[in-house]
Amino acid sequence: MSEPVSAIRNIGPKSVPGFARAGLHTAEEVRALGAVEAYRRLVLAGTRPHFIGFYALAMGLQGRLWSDITPQEKAELRRVFDALVAGAGADARGRSDLEAALNLLVVRDTE
């Protein structure tokens, strides 16, 4: 029997819909992909990138609390996170390159 995504340490019920939008419905699917690919899929499915969410997932897949991160691990995961977000075509606030450019031009839907 498969476990829900929320069976992974540090993943709460509020995160489950984001995983579902990314096509990830079980803890086994997330474990098989690993933290980087699973988080990449979350970002591509519309989840706003957040570093703490990324490293909480990485730590949870190791069976560790999110707060159990060493400064060295945090620095390495930050490097990986920044590359992941850049590769997904989003900025640190989760905006696509196009949306970020339009915001610079102050182009907004007025309706």
Task: Supply the CATH number for residue 16's domain.
Answer: 1.10.150.20
Number of domains in the chain: 1
| pLDDT range class, residue 1, cuts 50, 70, 90 | confident
Whether 39 is in a domain gets the answer yes
32 lies in a domain?
yes
Domain that holds residue 11: 5-104
Question: Is 111 part of any domain?
Answer: no
The answer as to whether 81 is a domain residue is: yes
70: in domain:
yes
DSSP secondary structure string, 2-68? PPBGGGSTT--GGGHHHHHHTT--BHHHHHHHHHHHHHHHHHHTTPPP-HHHHHHHHHHHTT--TT-
- Could you tell me the pTM of the whole model? 0.78
User: Is 110 within the bounds of a domain?
Assistant: no
Say what the pLDDT of residue 87 is: 83
pLDDT tens sequence across 11-53: 999 999 999 999 999 999 999 999 999 999 999 998 999 999 9
